Chain A
Amino acid sequence: MSLSRAKSRKRQRLYLAGAALLAIAGAAALALTAFEESVVFFFSPTEIAAQSPIDEARRLRVGGLVEEGSITKVGSGETTLFVVTDMANSITVSYTGILPDLFREGQGVVAEGSMNSNGQFVAREVLAKHDENYMPREVADALKESGYWQELEAKNAENMLN
């Protein structure tokens, strides 16, 4: 009889632990959904456009792809102007300093800084966002030749901007 009581106590503890875990998971899900704004690492140009005008004192991050042909050097070459796009909207970013090695046209980047009065984004820091594709150079070249590369890049862009 004491054996069955021990068994039922064990079952009770099992249910209790299961219920507690469910409650905690639910609470975590609710909290993370509620604070989604602060959990996301960057805003897309479309989200920025939806929020504008943005206070010039506010620091934020904008992420997207560097638009093809948009990179220009200004001044003595230390300041770079480029356009970050999510294919729907775009935003001009100016950055003074050394850009990461992976920075180039078509690359996913995240810039941190603030908006200025001309609607330009003045970046204090520019980070390159690496994609999830790993391949040797020969494979990349072969893909470029076969024309599959565009498809891959389009998929990357979609992933980056989801």
Chain B
Amino acid sequence: MHRFAKPSVFLKLADTLMPWMIAITVITGGTGLYLGLFWSPADYQQGDTVRIMYIHVPTAWMGLFCYVGMAICGAMSLIWKHPLADIAARATAPVGAMFTALCLITGSLWGEPMWGTWWVWDARLTSMLILLFLYLGYMALVNAFDDPERGSKAGSALALVGVVNVPIVKFSVDWWNTLHQPASVARMDGPSIDPSMLWPLMLMAVAFTGYYFIILAIRVRSELNERRIRALQLSGLFEQGDGTTSGSALYDQGHNAGAGK
């Protein structure tokens, strides 16, 4: 069972942290939404359209953050064959894809009234779309093989190659002229955004980060459980006829008592 040594540590840690993560996410998300939608002022140029930023910018950050996480896990799985890293990379991909898609959608909703167009092929928008395709490609690739190990090898390689796109997304607005504005928060001479708008933005960023870790913990746990069930089935502990009923009883015991072994 030494292969599960690390996962058990992870599960224990996730169990301890889960209530805290949920509390942080709910509190910062609730406060951030309230501040962003009601308390913070309208922008002098954009009016109330500026409120889209409180979703758009954190989802953009998370899209990049999740990708870096996925690529690091992919590298760990490729180089050190760490099983938990592979599970974490697979668990991260759909969450990151969702963040990236939300970023593109909210950006488009903002662009129509502000720029006068839903979409342009400038460097920032295009590289962000490529990020979404990298996520989708990773998800398709890891599931494209009958042998899951070959799937994660191919997927991890793709995730690592795609990491080149991350600095391109971030610095596209500095390297080339784009329709998209340059960075307002992470810039050399300090944020160019009024504190009354920066606060809700930061709270939303914390909430989205918390949300990601909650979903990650849940997805990793369910994947570990699935693997345990499969391992038990293979070891013949399940009767073939009524395998499902006795299986769930066994699984519950194992989940609570045996996870630490």
Residues of A within 8 A of B (CB): 10, 13-14, 17, 20-21, 24-25, 28, 32, 36, 39-42, 44, 63, 99-102, 110, 125-141, 159, 162
Main secondary structure of the interface of B (DSSP, over half): loop
Q: Do residues B116 and A126 form an inter-chain contact, with CB atoms below 8 A?
A: yes
Q: Is the interface of A mostly helix, strand, loop or mixed?
A: mixed
CA–CA, A24 and B45, complex, Å: 41
Cβ of B45: which chain A residues have Cβ within 8 Å of it?
A: 102, 130
In Å, the complex CA distance between A14 and B102 comes to: 34
Nearest Cβ on chain A to B202's Cβ, whole angstroms? 13
C-alpha spacing A96/B80, complex, angstroms: 61
- CB neighbours (8 Å) of B194 from chain A are 134-136, 139
Q: Are B114 and A130 in contact (CB under 8 A)?
A: yes
Q: What are 10 A-to-B residue pairs whose CB atoms are below 8 Å?
A: A17-B78, A41-B120, A102-B114, A102-B115, A110-B179, A127-B117, A130-B46, A133-B192, A136-B44, A137-B43
C-alpha spacing A125/B111, complex, angstroms: 14
Known: A13-B79, A100-B116, A101-B113. A135 touches B177 (CB 8 A): no
Minimum CB–CB distance for B199 against chain A, Å:
12
Say which residue of B44, B79, B164, B193 sits within 8 Å of A24 (CB atoms).
Answer: B164
> Judging by beta carbons under 8 Å apart, are A41 and B178 in contact?
yes
Query: Size range of the interface on B?
Result: 35 or more
B177:A130 contact, CB within 8 angstroms = no
- Asked whether any CB of chain A lies closer than 8 Å to the CB of B181, the reply is yes
Which residues of chain B are near A135, meaning CB under 8 Å? 43-44, 193-194, 197
- Chain B residues whose C-beta falls within 8 Å of the C-beta of A159 in the assembled complex: 182
- Whole-angstrom CA separation of A13 from B115 in the bound complex: 47
List 12 extra interface pairs beyond A44-B177, A139-B44, CB under 8 A.
A10-B79, A20-B161, A21-B163, A28-B164, A39-B176, A63-B177, A127-B115, A132-B183, A134-B46, A135-B43, A139-B194, A140-B44
Point out the residue from B43, B115, B183, B193 that lies within 8 Å of A129, measured CB to CB: B115
Among A24, A99, A134, point to the contact of B161 (Cβ < 8 A): A24
Chain B interfacial positions (CB closer than 8 Å to A): 41-46, 50, 53, 75, 78-81, 113-117, 120-123, 160-161, 163-164, 168, 175-179, 181-184, 187, 192-194, 196-197
**CA–CA, A35 to B18, complex, Å?**
47
Contacts of B81 in A (CB 8 A): 10
The residue of chain A having its C-beta at the shortest distance from the C-beta of B183 within the complex is A132
Q: Give the complex CA separation of A100 and B187 in angstroms.
A: 28
- Distance, CA A41 to CA B181, complexed state (A): 12
Give CA–CA (A21, B184) in the complex, Å: 30
Contact B114 A17 (CB under 8 A): no
Closest CB-CB distance, A137 to chain B, in whole Å? 4
Which A residues touch B193, using CB under 8 A? 132-135
Q: Verify B116–A131 contact, CB threshold 8 A.
A: no
